[in-house]
Amino acid sequence: MGVSIKYAEFFCQAKSRCISIEVLNNNLNEYYNDMFCPYCYKAKLYFVKVAKTPHLRTKPSSQHSKDCIRYYEPVLSRNIKKISKILTKKQINNELHSTMNHLLKLGHNKNKDSTTLAEKTFLSTKSKSVNSKKQTRKVLKTKSLNRKFTQLHDGKIYKFYGKVKLSVYENIKREEDKYYYLNILTKQGQIFGIRRNKKDMLDENGKYNLVFIGWAYARENSSSIKVRLLGEMAILYIKMNGEA
């Protein structure tokens, strides 16, 4: 399970912490036999070197623990619209917080509380066939904001996450039409824009850990990427405390 899923970070046993894939650009030999699933720390990963989007995958011979979110396959695109309509606020909240907990672990040493929250983050249970009561669990695909957004991701729903800079743009054509844009600047220099009905109160000089669920669309003749959230509450951010 989880073989088809791409990873943007890995758990290093020698350093007892999760590390971004970016370090592999010049240090692959150092970590070659020490790259594990960043969620369960058990399944071994291997590096896939491709020009546009290098990434990590699970070794076919390796297994995730059964309580790992990556033990289960992601929801298929053709099913996501139906599932997104029936998600409860509690399920969305669990999705956001589980990924935020993972994001806060990146770059930090493993501790006693570094357990997965897979049991809280399954989007659906679905029978394998009409006549079967056996159920399968599915999870939502994730996309790091600090890995380049390309046409492969355009118009697809993801749980986006990353360490970013945030700013707010106020758009006032008429007072009754006032709205805001939450702008997200990534390490790749890409800008994501989310339309908001209320102004987000931010420290625009600070950096944030951010998670949101939604669809992203590249705009023609524009460097910014438009985001449509799954719902107004499908976003969570926490200011970083002096982290790089």
Report the share of the chain in percent with pLDDT over 90: 30
Q: What pLDDT is stored for residue 175 in this prediction?
A: 65
Q: What pLDDT is stored for residue 52 in this prediction?
A: 72
- In the predicted model, is pLDDT for residue 2 greater than 60? no
Q: Residues near 134 by Cβ (< 8 Å), separated by ≥ 6?
A: 127, 128
- What integer is the mean pLDDT of 77-83? 65
| 216 in Cβ contact with 192 (< 8 Å) | yes
When pLDDT is cut at 50, 70 and 90, the band that residue 194 belongs to is very high
Q: What pLDDT is stored for residue 53 in this prediction?
A: 77
Instruction: Tally the residues of the chain.
Output: 244
Q: What pLDDT is stored for residue 234 in this prediction?
A: 93
Query: Which regions of the chain carry the CATH code 2.40.50?
Result: 142-239
- What integer is the mean pLDDT of 29-58? 89
pLDDT in tens, 31-44: 999 999 988 899 99
**Which CATH number applies to 142-239: 3.40.1700, 2.60.40, 2.40.50, 1.20.1260?**
2.40.50
- In the predicted model, is pLDDT for residue 204 greater than 70? yes
- 25-39 as b/e, with b when 16 or more CB fall inside 10 Å? eeeeeebeeebbbbb
Q: What pLDDT is stored for residue 195 in this prediction?
A: 92
Residue 242 or 14, more confident: 14
pLDDT in tens, 103-139: 776 655 554 443 333 334 444 444 444 444 434 556 7
Q: What pLDDT is stored for residue 135 in this prediction?
A: 45
Q: What pLDDT is stored for residue 120 in this prediction?
A: 41
DSSP letters of 201-228?
A: ---TTS-EEEEEEEEEEEPTT-SEEEEE
Q: Residues near 157 by Cβ (< 8 Å), separated by ≥ 6?
A: 77, 80, 84, 140, 141, 213, 214, 215, 230
Give CA–CA dist 48/215, Å, rounded: 26
Q: What pLDDT is stored for residue 1 in this prediction?
A: 54
- What integer is the mean pLDDT of 20-35? 88
Question: If you average pLDDT over every residue of the chain, what do you get?
Answer: 79
DSSP letters of 76-130?
A: PHHHHHHHHHH--HHHHHHHHHHHHHHHHHBTSB--TT----GGG---EEEESST
- In the predicted model, is pLDDT for residue 168 greater than 90? yes
Q: What pLDDT is stored for residue 3 in this prediction?
A: 53
Residue 148 or 134, more confident: 148
- In the predicted model, is pLDDT for residue 172 greater than 60? yes
Q: What pLDDT is stored for residue 166 in this prediction?
A: 96
Residue 167 or 38, more confident: 167
Of these ranges, 20-24, 43-47, 62-66, 112-116, the one predicted with the greatest mean pLDDT is: 43-47
